[in-house]
A = this chain, B = another copy of it.
Amino acid sequence: MSTFQHIKPAGKAQFKDRHTTKAAELLTPYTEGSKGDVAIIGAPLSKPSISHSGASFAPDVIRRCLNSFTTYNIEEETDISSRKIIDFGDITMHPTSIEDCHQRIYQSTKEVAQAQAAPLTIILGGDHSITTSTVKAIKETKGTVGIIQLDAHHDLRNTEDGGPTNGTPFRRLIEEGHLKGEHLIQIGIRNYANAKAYHDYAIENGVTVYTMKDVRQRAIAELIQSALSQLESKVDTIYLSVDMDVLDQAYAPGCPAIGPGGMDPDTLAEAVQQAIKHPKVQTMDIVEIDPTLDTRDMTSRIASLLIINSLVK
């Protein structure tokens, strides 16, 4: 194409400012042996969702929203243009076997973890059902897993009523022996958003539960610190699971299960920032964004910013 002065390949951006690096430019497709600061892998699965969900579109949209950010952190006066986001691409899903999909997520997450491409791996859902598969893979790769879950919901539903839906990931992990209840810390659980039975299940299994009332009354930093302290000596690795519906509906209009009374994005960003600085926090997922329901990709933009923030771990 070099012979043509004013033609660019289809799909490339029209405008390029010579001094500006877009965060999307940090994306580097994985090839064997690649090393970077963060690795991402898409798990575009939302057929297990209880309600109709287009969360399978989120990995592409979150990547695209990285174009809305530059690499310069003016608040810290840090330029991250030399950081690398190793992009493993997306896990291919089986159109009609959800069991197979979960198996592929498990296998692929394991392969990605084994590739050790970066100190932090971010899995982009997809719905929350993916987390059983990813945590299982992480456990087999890195040892005992502790989880800090930012979520409006327990996601501890019984599996008799629908199998491995997006309401069950942590229940399945506990029941299948991949996770101890006391290694699970839930932050942001919301009023009238969960059944009593599942709160009871959480308590009976030693799960630590911080509600939105806790978030409102105590500094988020304190809750995260408490969670990290509780887990760090007991587990080999910490997994941060970010269900975007922990945010209030005014800030995250693109989550399937929106509602009032949630967190604001600054609080979520602070929580994530603080958590990933801990050396044992090595895996993170971002789930439950349905771009077909969103307003101007606002929810995905927040997700993209969480990824970028993670580069200054």
Contacts and interface: CB of A to CB of B under 8 A. Distances in A.
Interface string A150-194: 000000011011111101000000000000000000000111111
B7 A194 contact: no
B92 A253 contact: no
B20 A195 contact: yes
A79 interface: yes
B6 A108 contact: yes
A52 interface: yes
A161 to B, nearest CB: 5
A233 interface: no
Contact of A69 (B107, B162, B192): B192
Interface stretch (A235-243, A258-266, A279-287): A258-266
A246 to B, nearest CB: 14
11 contacts: A7-B111, A8-B92, A10-B87, A17-B157, A19-B157, A52-B292, A74-B191, A75-B191, A96-B99, A97-B99, A249-B296
Interface in A87-103: 87-99
The 10 closest A-B pairs by CB, nearest first: A19-B197, A96-B163, A95-B162, A20-B195, A6-B104, A69-B192, A75-B213, A72-B196, A79-B196, A9-B89
A74 to B, nearest CB: 5
A26 to B, nearest CB: 11
B18 A308 contact: no
Given A6-B91, A15-B161, 6 more contacts: A4-B112, A21-B195, A49-B95, A96-B98, A96-B162, A292-B292
A16 B20 CA distance: 37
Given A193-B70, A298-B249, A91 B7 contact: yes
B47 A47 contact: yes
Interface in A43-99: 44, 47-52, 54, 56-57, 59-60, 63, 68-75, 77, 79, 81, 87-99
A60 B10 contact: yes
A157 B16 CA distance: 11
B96 A48 contact: yes
Given A68-B257, A305-B261, A60 B11 contact: yes
